[in-house]
Structure 1
Amino acid sequence: MKLLLTNDDGINAKGIYALAKELEKEHEVVIVAPDNQRSACGHSITITDPLFVKELKIDGIKSKAYSVSGTPADCVRIGIDKLVDGKIDMVLSGINNGFNLGTDVIYSGTVSAAIESSIYKIPSIAVSTEINDDIEKYSVPAKYASEILKILKDSYTKNDVVINVNVPLIPKENIKGIKVCNIGSKTYDFYFMEDTSENNDKRFYLKGALKESEEEDTDVYYIKRGYVTVTPLHYDLTNFKILDEVDKVFNK
């Protein structure tokens, strides 16, 4: 398969290195990733400024690689349009340094890159794991990404759906299996800490405590219990549950 790899942690991130190293064993891989950290940028794109693209060589990786002075969604767009020759079979985004569980997927540049691919009818997978700076810790998520790709490649017909994968940071032999599940609830008690700069300007730092739901059959629930979680996503934000109800309000 021909794969486009991207992320939101930047072209030099250990996660994308591990993913490329694993996938290029069996696939044709092209890496197109931001030139630096773009975490939590969501689905933003660059409109008024030009994008600067540099082809570079990543030590230990044989695949072509490009850095882009933009967001993860930019990387997918320019990768599809300009940088990858021929048909892309699938886009993989990650391995993100930190889970993308529950409502965090709304903010995630990793997931947004995968969603951008699906908008162009190219199947996509977003892969994330717990925060860790040890390159060896990414080997298990990389292997699961490869396994999940093999499972999906012959039966993946819904080419506008994103598969969001989260892998716990434990030895592979301790992982209990793969659970296909819903997005859970993951919110924060946000507040801002204020201080004053040397120019007497007010500045604020975002703080907050995490609040997680223990609702069963969700990604938040199963990741804590040692499972790899798999959740299909879609960019259509229509609330179909109340669509008819709202229609009746406007069309009495």
Structure 2
Amino acid sequence: MRNDETSKLHILLVNDDGINAPGIYALGKEFHQCYDVTMVAPSEQRSASGHSITISRPLTVIRHHFDDLNIKAYSVDGTPADCVRLALDQLVDKRVDMVVSGINRGFNLGMDVLYSGTVSAAVEAAIYKLPSIAVSTEQFDKVEEYAAAAHYAHRVLKKAVEKGMKNDVVLNLNVPPMKAEEIKGIKVCRMGNMVYGNYFVERKNFEGKADEDHRIYDIKGNIFEPEAEDMDTFYIKQGYATVTPLHYDLTNFKIIQEVDGWF
């Protein structure tokens, strides 16, 4: 990654909320005057799509235009990971220096990273040896409400460039839903243990009976958030933006020798 101030960085913006989401527009608004920006996002909402990719059909790309943003923008009728792959292979005409994914409409804390399309797009970039940042905040509907998260994304990006962040690292940034001047700062911390206690309730038909051949289930449940002072779920509630470094290698190195001994 280039880190000299005279070179204008090329930033690829992606997300999982879709090309028309206010969060990705807020990033474009924050970055387009300082960097070369290309935006490639799903054509529709693809939240919680994880790291899925499309292999059973062709992908359709449509060019988008924003009157007040000087950027190239495309929608893809696929997943967030598809957007990164297609952008790097076909849609960008010069080297990408950094991939920024978001701003997601809702936090990606704890175990959310395993389901998140936002984080998965950033991880896909790291697989291609590009440094990346996944950005999330609490749910908002207007572009202006994402200003603080966009500001902190820019702050983290500049620090990553200054320090020469490695090209296979993902920084998972979560920003509390506050004005930028009200946020206490940035805490680098580990993933929390937030998990979803989901259960399924079968719907009954109008006679109060279940159809054995055609069943419908509603998803119910709660979020469980065990907390410790080194977790993202703890610091976000204290008014800090949180940064958690991630890597796509899921090997459990703590027990690799133990399991080797089994065989």
Query: TM-score of the superposition, structure 2-length normalised?
Result: 0.92
User: Which of the residues 43, 51, 57 maps onto 1:43?
Assistant: 51
Query: Post-superposition shift, 1:194?
Result: 1.9
The match for 1:248 is 261
Q: 2:222 matched to 1:209?
A: yes
The alignment partner of 2:220 has SS state of strand
Deviates more, 1:129-138 or 1:67-76: 129-138
How many percent identity over aligned positions? Answer: 58
Paired residues for 1:56-71 under 5 Å: 56-71=64-79
Work out the number of aligned pairs and report it: 250
The match for 2:170 is 162
User: Which of the residues 47, 59, 63 maps onto 1:55?
Assistant: 63
The match for 1:103 is 111
In 2, distance between residues paired with 1:196 and 1:72? 36
Deviates more, 1:104-113 or 1:183-192: 183-192
The alignment partner of 1:122 has SS state of coil
The alignment partner of 2:20 has SS state of coil
The match for 2:155 is 147
Q: 2:23 matched to 1:15?
A: yes
In 1, distance between residues paired with 2:52 and 2:108? 17
The match for 2:242 is 229
In 2, distance between residues paired with 1:219 and 1:249? 35
User: Which of the residues 154, 179, 188 maps onto 1:171?
Assistant: 179
- Cα deviation code 1:118-163 (max 9, x no counterpart): 0000110000000121322100000111111111113234111100
Q: 2:191 matched to 1:183?
A: yes
The alignment partner of 1:202 has SS state of coil
User: Which of the residues 23, 28, 31 maps onto 2:36?
Assistant: 28
Paired residues for 1:61-100 under 5 Å: 61-100=69-108
Query: TM-score of the superposition, structure 1-length normalised?
Result: 0.96
In 2, distance between residues paired with 1:134 and 1:68? 23
The match for 1:239 is 252
In 2, distance between residues paired with 1:135 and 1:196? 41
Query: Post-superposition shift, 1:196?
Result: 4.8
Bigger proportion of residues as strand: 1
Name the amino acid aligned to 1:206: I
Q: Structure 1: any 5+ residue segments left out of the alignment?
A: none
CA root-mean-square deviation: 1.4
In 2, distance between residues paired with 1:156 and 1:163? 13
In 2, distance between residues paired with 1:95 and 1:70? 18
- Cα deviation code 1:155-205 (max 9, x no counterpart): 23411110000000012222111000000111121111222579x632112
The match for 1:127 is 135
Q: Structure 2: any 5+ residue segments left out of the alignment?
A: 1-8
Aligned 8 A contact 1:197 1:203 in 2: no
Query: Post-superposition shift, 1:246?
Result: 1.2
In 2, distance between residues paired with 1:195 and 1:49? 33
Deviates more, 1:188-197 or 1:20-29: 188-197
The alignment partner of 1:220 has SS state of helix
In 2, distance between residues paired with 1:40 and 1:87? 29
In 2, distance between residues paired with 1:240 and 1:94? 30
In 2, distance between residues paired with 1:101 and 1:197? 38
Name the amino acid aligned to 2:262: V
- Gap change, CA 1:85 and 1:204, over 3 Å in 2: same
Query: Post-superposition shift, 1:101?
Result: 0.3
The match for 2:11 is 3
